[in-house]
Amino acid sequence: MSEHIVRHLSAADPVMAALIAAVGPYQLEADEAEHPFQSLAHAIAHQQLNGTAAATILRRLVEACGAGSFPTPEWVLKTPAQRLRKAGFSFAKVAALKDLAAKTLDNVVPAHAALLELPDEEIVARLTQVRGVGRWTVEMLLLFRLGRPDVLPVDDFGVRAGFRAAYGLKSMPHPKVLAAFGERWRPYRSAAAWYLWRALELSRAGTLPEPAQKLRMPRVKLRRSVRKKKTAARATRPVKRTPVRKPRRTGTLRNRRARRARK
């Protein structure tokens, strides 16, 4: 299957073909199945923290549960917020955990087997209802837990930076532009994302091949709201005005009154 994916991407894009030749076989495989509640709880714990700190918080959470395994949604809901705070979760993350637990029990966040039956966008729509869970978090679940083949996380820094390096761009691509360009990689955009992550690694190591051809990015119109913000910003800039000088008056007040009287 990976050979078929590699052939498809190489035929669709010469730059991607050179990157594939430099990296080697596609090796992204989904991790062992676990309940989405646990996957999303891990994601919430990792927000704005390095891996070591997040792992410590999660270990304390398991210890606080006392069952030797990851807490259940029922346990998270009934546990006082202060106890979760002692494990290292911030107030915002405690609120997100409790909301995740509640939506799991309400089946907004279904079990792993149920997720397998749902299309990607429906999974995104359901799981992003959880407080603190955005599209990027769900896309990582689609990639690394469910093994979906056609996910392109255009908001991911590594994907955008890898694309910039592999295609010789001067600046980071806008997510909408990257999404438009990535249409040529369908239906294997997950593999393309994996190779873009590897491109960033090669770039840091100094072994990334030069782009096979000069890239012309697709033009994407800005949203009207973005244009309005830019127009409003220009409209609110202070305008430099040239001061108007008043005509100079000559003579004393008595002399001026005398001249007016003679007229």
Q: How many CA atoms lie within 13 A of 208 on its CB side?
A: 24
Residue type, position 202, single letter: L
Cβ(27)–Cβ(213) under 8 Å?
A: no
Compute the C-alpha angle 187/188/189, nearest 5°. 105
Q: Which of 13, 120, 150, 156 is catalytic?
A: 156
Measured in whole angstroms, the distance separating CA 91 from the mean position of its chain's CA atoms is 22
Q: For the chain, how far is it from start to end, CA to CA, in angstroms?
A: 105
Distance, in Å, from the CA atom of 62 to the CA atom of 74, rounded to the nearest integer, reads 14
Distance, in Å, from the CA atom of 44 to the CA atom of 41, rounded to the nearest integer, reads: 5
Answer yes or no: 156 catalytic: yes
Q: Which single residue is written with the structure tokens 């994601």?
A: 43
Angle at 158 between CA 153 and CA 161, to 5 degrees: 110
> Which residues are known catalytic residues?
156
